[in-house]
Structure 1
């Protein structure tokens, strides 16, 4: 049987170490599917229900493993559906290869059915982006696409017209000069981590040694440098503030950290940032500049492996273009150490914050407090559990009540902040780590968008656990309307309220519906102990506000004005806020 282009693609992906492709077939990629079929022993095709989920699964897989995530979709609408998940990969800097189909080359430009010029559509999302038009281009262009995705930590895209997919690899219809052939065997990718420059290190150390109130801000680029971050923080006497994607850099209960920064962050982190005179940024280009020091307030050192991200938010006096681990290791012996008083003060502030957060996890509150639900999951989950999360109010509850300890991990859509990746992330990650506990903490809005993928988990026997924080509303949008000074509008669903547990049971999995606080712990415990996929749908208080760590005057002003104009649920919301404050006073 002659080797076709689709088979050559599959073989080359296997040689690059790819063992999984997430996708949905269609007549636009039948030739590629034939290639995957011929190598089914080496590369698994995970069939999904929606192409958007395939891209999210590939992104979650890449985030959790550091390896290439691969997704595939047919021509036209199938490829269009991939885009949301691919932008998530691009904005969060993870390597994903998208493979799509095109109409036969003979009909391109004739307004043929589903004719969408995907190489043009993908121009913004994909760093390497090519329509393959000659069998002789393989496997070289596959190598280029994979290299670009892995080295630059971004998205690559290859689209194949139908006739090219099934063309024999020996064909050369245009008799063009042959491109350079790659070496036989498995490709190599040399990604050396260049050592930081000595002059850069000395300049940074001089600046940090002069600090009286230093703060370290760490992001996803420092996830592999936990020990180094802690050592530098202890040497400098500097609080460690974490971005949302960098939550797992330092354990949440470690005495050097003040937790997250931003709308979902902590009051101690925000105040430490307001007070610092020196900022060390490691593996992050934190996009929310209003939470960073004011211009002229602090001197800045930034360590990043991508020089183009240095100085993106603040003027940087001492840049270090290096991997986070190597940069911090080089810096550590040059630091003299601070007196520790600044860190000691914020340790006390953080102790008070933790007590305040714990007080909100009150099982006596009815309706069920979302903080309590997340707290139960946190208490019962394994120390190496992986939590995935959707965007919305649930990100607030998970950021503040999911405790990083042991080898726990935490993944969500960071910079894109899109809805619906929680479940697909969990499926992709569970596929990569079949022996670990993977939990998706999702809202009813995000889950409903791609809920068919729960059936994907059942069919592939992936024991993901799904906890639905069900407030029957688009909660984050509701509170954003109020904070901006508008009465809520079109954000709450009408009755009947969803019962996603029935859907789970209909799929042949464990499903539990919880409406009373006393039933939460038992249902979550049973779900985590279940041997296969499980879902717990919990009705939580829809009027629980995701308050910022530190409420600004303008936020309070708009909140009050909106209420004075007549929020339809203001009585219930005020009652919830009062209960929250009473719980804090009891702590």
Structure 2
């Protein structure tokens, strides 16, 4: 058969030009709504990508928006923040030079993959043709000529390919888009691009650049699995729903609310799932696990059926396998990923969260309703917990230095459902999970799958790009701020009005507390001067001025020394149209009561033997550890 003109038409472009043009024509579609899959590219240019992708992005600047980054890891965090705020239906690409630029991607790639959030990584690579070997920044591997530093990205990528010939891009790019749009397999996707191949011309088939739509699946539950789920529910007397991040990814919040309304089953949430119900919904009992509420954790301890919806059951959620303590407790896991649906020897219900909840509700009909006494009990317990939150937030004197919980309390007074709070590491995730009153489905943005220090500020940029016009807050401690403040410059450059709240507590407060609890006495966790003859750093705080640092990077800065000044600073910042920072030195828990302690255990092994004279706290911590570890249980 003679080929038609349409099937033989080609266009001559470099590999980099072809990739950028291809990416600008990719779309996702879910529930009949279509949007661009790759809506922008972050980049830092070097000799591995400047002549290839750099030139291509300039040539197609009208089709592919570009954002200039300052740190490669931070660019991935920004892209991840954008993807999460976009419900994983749109994503960003990230390009770097070879060598250190590429290896700096690894942490961000791991974060994306752990959290099932799509990002396309386009690191430069060494010459495919090997005209000179080694080239600048090349890692020589004596036993393998085809290995480069980019191979570090293999274990943290959901798809990886190295494009050593232009024509290899066609199948690789299509596979990359398939993975990015897959609700089960999505994560970091890496296309390593040798610098000579990027600049090499090739005659590309026109069909490669046609608009392509990638459908985002909503699989319905299997009839047999659904029937088993209904039987389990009808037999349950004290069921509990654990809402995970899959509720948000599916957009299943309304379906969850309808299911909870119809059944009266209480809903606890993981860090990723918080906000699945607003805090004032009658069935919402707050966070679960080590950083959860007393209400949710008591329900978990006595539940006879735990219904996981879109959760991975990490150790914080299960209190290191000690939380779900009912003697005959069973698990029913609704998850789009079969791997997660089968955890804890559960009855699996492999389906999209929205479709699964809807089908489960329809199959139950009016045949199940939680016992009135059970509903009354958790409702009363929830009200008691809210009184504890009020006490943590309250400041009797506006002229004193605020605690971290009081900072959250002042912010709680100011925000609406439009505001988005971003956090990832330190002691803030625990306080937020216990105390924060989430008002909308996407207000609470705490990255706790990887809990990566340095995520917050760059992620805030990505979120703000995905949600223009909404107030976006990055909440950071001084430790996290020092990890990665570089993208404040990008915020200033592009006038992205992020709001950064820096809480100065002179060190790694969260790990300092953990260190003290496991007998390590806070060693190496404070930002202080050393004292001669003493271990660690126990002297005066360092004279570091993070507010001045933020100002030097172009931010508007408010310093707040008291609760009153904090209230004024946060109010001014919320209405700001430029990138703005609020700096506050917080009062420590040594002098005032902080938030409620952990309501469930977390397994951090303690030294089994120690020198009683040098480390007397270790033996006591070990005794406490052994008491808790006996409650650990395998659900088989």
TM over 0.5: yes
Give 1:113's aligned residue. Answer: 136
**1:376-433 deviations in whole A, cap 9, x for unaligned?**
1122123211111131101122223332114542223222111110101101111122
SS of the residue corresponding to residue 302 of structure 1 reads: strand
TM-score, normalised to structure 1, is: 0.89
Deviation at 1:115, TM superposition (A): 1.4
**1:270-290 deviations in whole A, cap 9, x for unaligned?**
111000011111111211132
Matches within 5 A, 1:365-384: 366-384=400-418
Indicate how the Cα distance of structure 1 residues 85 and 228 shifts in structure 2: closer, same or farther if over 3 A, else same. Answer: same
Matches within 5 A, 1:283-298: 283-288=310-315, 289=318, 290=321, 292-294=323-325, 297-298=328-329
Deviation at 1:496, TM superposition (A): 3.2
SS of the residue corresponding to residue 244 of structure 1 reads: coil
Give 2:281's aligned residue. Answer: 254
Give 2:301's aligned residue. Answer: 274
Give 1:355's aligned residue. Answer: 387
Indicate how the Cα distance of structure 1 residues 476 and 109 shifts in structure 2: closer, same or farther if over 3 A, else same. Answer: farther
Give 1:583's aligned residue. Answer: none
For residues 519 and 464 of structure 1, what CA distance do their matches in structure 2 show?
A: 20
Indicate how the Cα distance of structure 1 residues 110 and 343 shifts in structure 2: closer, same or farther if over 3 A, else same. Answer: farther
Q: 2:472 aligns with which of 433, 438, 454?
A: 438
Give 1:299's aligned residue. Answer: 330
**1:535-576 deviations in whole A, cap 9, x for unaligned?**
001100233666544266999x99xx99x9789xxxxxxxxx
Give 1:36's aligned residue. Answer: 57
For residues 472 and 119 of structure 1, what CA distance do their matches in structure 2 show?
A: 36
TM-score, normalised to structure 2, is: 0.82
C-alpha contact (below 8 Å) 2:22/2:208 kept by paired residues: no
C-alpha contact (below 8 Å) 1:217/1:281 kept by paired residues: yes
C-alpha contact (below 8 Å) 1:511/1:536 kept by paired residues: yes
Give 2:199's aligned residue. Answer: 166
Matches within 5 A, 1:42-121: 42-65=63-86, 66=88, 67-107=90-130, 110-116=133-139, 117-121=148-152
With 460-469 and 117-126 compared, the bigger mean Cα shift is at: 117-126
Indicate how the Cα distance of structure 1 residues 449 and 273 shifts in structure 2: closer, same or farther if over 3 A, else same. Answer: same
**1:498-551 deviations in whole A, cap 9, x for unaligned?**
332223333333201222222110011111111111000110023366654426
Instruction: Determine whether 1:216 maps to 2:241.
Output: yes
For residues 22 and 306 of structure 2, what CA distance do their matches in structure 1 show?
A: 45
Give 1:154's aligned residue. Answer: 187
What CA RMSD, in Å, does the superposition of the two structures yield over aligned residues? 2.5
Deviation at 1:436, TM superposition (A): 1.2
Give 2:551's aligned residue. Answer: 505
Instruction: Determine whether 1:199 maps to 2:209.
Output: no
C-alpha contact (below 8 Å) 1:97/1:157 kept by paired residues: yes
For residues 553 and 153 of structure 1, what CA distance do their matches in structure 2 show?
A: 29
Q: 2:25 aligns with which of 3, 7, 15?
A: 15
**1:114-158 deviations in whole A, cap 9, x for unaligned?**
114144211201121111011112333212112112212211100
Give 1:585's aligned residue. Answer: none
Give 2:599's aligned residue. Answer: 550
Deviation at 1:199, TM superposition (A): 2.0
Deviation at 1:484, TM superposition (A): 1.0
For residues 149 and 445 of structure 2, what CA distance do their matches in structure 1 show?
A: 29
SS of the residue corresponding to residue 411 of structure 1 reads: strand
For residues 157 and 470 of structure 1, what CA distance do their matches in structure 2 show?
A: 37
Indicate how the Cα distance of structure 1 residues 341 and 181 shifts in structure 2: closer, same or farther if over 3 A, else same. Answer: farther
Indicate how the Cα distance of structure 1 residues 138 and 444 shifts in structure 2: closer, same or farther if over 3 A, else same. Answer: same
Give 2:6's aligned residue. Answer: none
Could you list the runs of 5+ residues in structure 1 that have no partner in the other structure? 172-179, 568-587
Instruction: Determine whether 1:402 maps to 2:429.
Output: no
Give 1:319's aligned residue. Answer: 348
Deviation at 1:29, TM superposition (A): 0.6
Indicate how the Cα distance of structure 1 residues 497 and 249 shifts in structure 2: closer, same or farther if over 3 A, else same. Answer: farther
SS of the residue corresponding to residue 108 of structure 2 reads: helix
For residues 82 and 280 of structure 1, what CA distance do their matches in structure 2 show?
A: 36
SS of the residue corresponding to residue 123 of structure 1 reads: helix
For residues 414 and 95 of structure 2, what CA distance do their matches in structure 1 show?
A: 36
Indicate how the Cα distance of structure 1 residues 565 and 514 shifts in structure 2: closer, same or farther if over 3 A, else same. Answer: farther
Give 2:361's aligned residue. Answer: 332
Deviation at 1:192, TM superposition (A): 2.9
**1:341-365 deviations in whole A, cap 9, x for unaligned?**
2232111111111110110113246
C-alpha contact (below 8 Å) 1:214/1:236 kept by paired residues: no
Deviation at 1:183, TM superposition (A): 5.5
Deviation at 1:100, TM superposition (A): 0.4
Could you list the runs of 5+ residues in structure 2 that have no partner in the other structure? 1-10, 27-35, 140-147, 529-540, 618-636
C-alpha contact (below 8 Å) 1:118/1:159 kept by paired residues: no
Indicate how the Cα distance of structure 1 residues 293 and 401 shifts in structure 2: closer, same or farther if over 3 A, else same. Answer: closer
SS of the residue corresponding to residue 291 of structure 2 reads: coil
Deviation at 1:235, TM superposition (A): 2.9
